[in-house]
Amino acid sequence: MSARGVDPRRVMLAGALAIILWAGGAFLWHLTFGRGLSLAVILFLGQDFPALLAGAMALALAAPFVIGRRGGAALAFPAPNARTVLPLIALMALAAWAGHYLVFQDYILSRDEEVARFAAAYMKDGMIGRPIPPEWQLYRRAIMPEFFSPFGAGRYWTAAYLPVNSAVQAIFWRLGDPDVASPVMLAVGLGALWRVALRLFPAQPGAVWAALMMAFTSSQLFVTAMTPYAMTGHFALNMVWLALVLHGRWWSHGAAGLVALVAAGLHQWHFPPIFIAPFILWMLLGRKWGQAAFHVAVLAAIVILWAKIWPAFLIDQLGPATDVRPSAGVADKVGSLFDRLAAKWQPLVNISRFVAWNNLLLLPLAVVGVAGIDWRKALRGRDIALPLALGGMAGLGLSLAQGYGWGFRYAHGFIGPLCLLAAMGWTRLRPDRAARTLWAGCLIALGMAAFLTMRAHDFVAPYAASHRMIRDSGYDVVLIDPRGGLFVTDLVRGDDGQPGLPIVMNLGMLRMEQVEMLCANYSVALFDRAEFRPLGVPLARWSYGRPDALRHRMARLGCEKRPF
């Protein structure tokens, strides 16, 4: 660092080198050393790895050009006021809404998302669970194979997740389109990030723009907002909570407490406490005892409401747990997290995915921001960079296996703090080179975003086509052979979150007598690799077992028909 600031060329070159080493480490660990091709690794290889290599190369090549002409006169930023910022936020939200139809083809890919939409459908109809039609009682687990609530599971199909994300979708569904929900939440989060940046950098419009441009060029924020994932809601409500806390009034802290209670009910209650805990430490260091005590009480209320009262309410309304053991308790949640940390901690691939789906300068600039922390002030609770950094480290450090995700979705709620840290790091760059550095990083991010969005479309397309073929087959029942392709069990679903003809079932979860009853009473079609292969679904390794006996019996009964 010189007297005038950090040379951004060093930041860019160091960032490019770190990206190549980290992504290379992920490749070697998961491929060369035979750690296995999990879903995250498959997505990493097809999407993130090539994007990271190209992006790191572009970052290194751009480094010499951030000086500009004649020593690089500083570029001016416009005032980050409502007239300039709000149209950009609205444009990003509209693009995300359009992307659900253009990129994802109006299809919900993963079981997590589909079950959230399933819950939105019965909430829209004024219910807290979908009654199972009597004729499908015996087949309920083959129709809803996973992510169902155990409470009243013998009579109702109910989502395993907490209800707020689905309730928000249900509200927008009643207004016309549930897929507007995530783009609106994205806009709320970006607006709150803007307000927080204005408060932290009141005399530095460039820093406000640095935080916003990190968010505007985040493929993870943009593409995830095309989906029903609850993570967009976590990003939004975390930033609203922070904006309210920084306002500093008694009423704003009270409102922040309500926001935290709502955020904890989005889908799993443990996410907001991880975000809030570093700020409680910050309050304690600053001797703000009343504020800290209030937010500790909010954390206790989160546990009471969502881990105790909500399950008790479901038991009262739907009935006791059946089919599977209930797992909504505090001990279950904590034990599950530690078990997953021990068995499924994957920092190499997950952080690689996070880096690829965000601006490549996000983490390097955030590191510069953390390096500039005044520890004397921080340990007295007078530097907000400390809780921002602790939260970002927690979000990235808890690198549990996530399955599907565009980027690393478990760190989604911490993108806002990392954008603010990156803005702090940006203020430490040499002023004559800082603006060009920001623009260079954003141009590279936009190029990567175009590639990643295209790859997301290509990955989803075969599954969307399969769903349409199943939906239009004209049969009463369609049986999915789960050996037919990778992740095809997620095709076992209804249409628009509601069961209807055809009823789709997982063949591997049926018994012989159930198959015979289906063949006797309904028109039945089989969907397997003969259909998946032409549509482009990646084929799974074939294994012989009980489904072969079921299929042999179907063939003898003459009901192993093809959808087309």
Question: Is the same domain home to 309 and 435?
Answer: yes
Whether residue 412 contacts residue 266, with contact meaning beta carbons closer than 8 Å, is answered with: no
In a domain, 114, yes or no: no
Question: Is the same domain home to 478 and 392?
Answer: no
User: Alpha-carbon distance 249 to 247, whole Å?
Assistant: 6
- Compute the chain's Rg from CA coordinates: 25
Total number of domains in the chain:
2
Taking alpha carbons only, the member of 518, 532, 541 closest to residue 563 is 532
In a domain, 337, yes or no: no
Whether residue 259 contacts residue 240, with contact meaning beta carbons closer than 8 Å, is answered with: yes
pLDDT in tens, the chain (564 residues): 444 789 999 999 999 999 999 999 988 888 776 555 788 888 899 999 999 999 999 999 999 888 765 544 456 788 999 999 999 999 999 999 999 999 999 999 998 999 999 999 999 999 999 999 999 999 999 998 888 889 998 899 999 999 999 999 999 999 999 999 999 999 999 999 999 999 999 999 999 999 999 999 999 999 999 999 999 999 999 999 999 999 999 999 999 999 999 999 999 999 999 999 999 999 999 999 999 999 999 999 999 999 999 999 999 999 988 876 555 455 555 555 555 555 577 889 999 999 999 999 999 999 999 999 988 998 998 899 999 999 999 999 887 878 888 999 999 999 999 999 999 999 999 988 889 999 999 999 999 999 999 999 999 999 999 999 998 888 999 999 888 888 888 889 888 777 778 999 999 899 999 999 999 999 999 888 888 878 888 877 766 678 888 888 888 888 877 665
Question: Is the same domain home to 439 and 534?
Answer: no
What pLDDT does residue 71 have? 45
What pLDDT does residue 343 have? 55
Question: Is the same domain home to 395 and 500?
Answer: no
Taking alpha carbons only, the member of 259, 281, 227, 275 closest to residue 396 is 275
Last residue of a domain, one of 433, 457, 481: 457
**Chain centroid, CA 462 distance in Å:** 21
Task: Write the DSSP string, 421-467.
Answer: HHHHHHTTB-HHHHHHHHHHHHHHHHHHHHHHHHHHHHHHHHHHHHH
β-strands 524-527, 130-131: how paired? Answer: unpaired
Q: Find the farthest-apart pair of alpha carbons in the chain and give their distance in angstroms, rounded.
A: 83
Contacts of 29 (CB under 8 A, 6+ apart): 35, 348, 349
Question: Is the same domain home to 379 and 297?
Answer: yes
**Amino acid, single-letter form, for residue 342:** A
Question: Is the same domain home to 393 and 534?
Answer: no
Whether residue 545 contacts residue 551, with contact meaning beta carbons closer than 8 Å, is answered with: no
Whether residue 356 contacts residue 408, with contact meaning beta carbons closer than 8 Å, is answered with: no
Question: Is the same domain home to 492 and 447?
Answer: no
Last residue of a domain, one of 457, 484, 511: 457
Range of the domain at 201: 8-74+81-86+179-320+343-457
In a domain, 122, yes or no: no
Last residue of a domain, one of 398, 425, 457: 457
What pLDDT does residue 333 have? 53
